[in-house]
Structure 1
Amino acid sequence: MTRLTTAEKILRAAHKLFERGGADAVTMRRVAEAVGITPMAIYRHFPTRDALLKRLSDDSFNAVAHEWEARRAGHPDVLTRLMALAEPYLDYALAHPHLFDHAFSVRRDDARRYPEDFRAGLSPTFNVALAAVIEGMAKGVLKQDDPHDVTMALWAQQHGLIALYRAGRFSYDEAQFRAFYKQSIGRLIDGLKA
């Protein structure tokens, strides 16, 4: 078994704290206690608390992107693939609400901005969905349009539904909401078909 580096231990401890209590729960003192080091030792690996939180957020984006890429690879049909990409986003939001909020819902100075950052390919999650949309348009399966704007519309639909569900705006239980979510995304994709 490979031993974790101090930086990896710090990230694991910070991740656990984040999962339980959100960004406010991640203090250098709490992380240090969990790792068994002094708070000042953390600064050798992460210059600020914000840098540590940014790393957690970036790791979250990369984990979601990896899951999306795995699902994308398993579906040769572009329409099925677009539907399959909606599932891990919902799964992540419900399983990791604090990380999801920090990564996708909380205003942050370092957050990517549409359209510049997304058109520059800086969003690992967006890029996976964008590739499917571009492929769908190239194959004539989806209507010709700006693929970035179409991908953002798909993401906004997913995110909006999740935000409303998590805010208690649906009377559905989780299974009912999942079915509604899937139907809603399906309706949107149907409207994009060529």
Structure 2
Amino acid sequence: MADPQTPGVPPPTSAAKTAVRDQLVTARNRRTLAEIGETARALADVLAAAPELRRAATVAAYVSIGSEPGTGPLLDRLRATGKRVLLPCLLPDNDLDWAAYDGRLVSARRGLLEPAGERLGVDAVATADVVLVPGLAVDHAGHRLGRGGGSYDRALARVPVGTFTCLLLYPEEVGVPVPVEPHDRRVSAAATAQGIVTLR
């Protein structure tokens, strides 16, 4: 039988995640705007050339913020090639609603930008042929480390098995040992400016 947790003390896996998260965020924050912009353009090229995205009619993506690998050029490229693009809208309980991206974004909670269109519901992500996911790192088995809110673990639980799910990262964030908890959802690939790595 497992030892009961001391009230107010996070479980060891949560503490380990926090430590790894802090290191990765610190490293990201050292990047210059020029580096972030270069990465965004290279990621758009890499993903636009991927067979999974070329075949996809609907792509669930997201609007990057801060020092995350940028998604702006990618979103423009997807729309220019006629893809239906779904973007997330953060709900008060940290779950994700979705709306189709028509080129307009509005300011939302926590400094996020969200699509201006009609909300489609939390299950809309299940209609995507490709799901592009934010995060801080991934191991070789596809376990991702997110920001800790659980939003994408819930979203990924709604995605049909076999859907191409891809994390957007910097190269040194791929293959990082990630502490894993039972609710964590895996992804099938990671994309960096250098290419796409298949996981698992």
Q: Which has the higher helix share?
A: 1
- Highest CA radius of gyration, 1 or 2? 1
What TM-score, normalized by structure 1, do the two folds share? 0.26
What TM-score, normalized by structure 2, do the two folds share? 0.25
Q: Which has the higher strand share?
A: 2
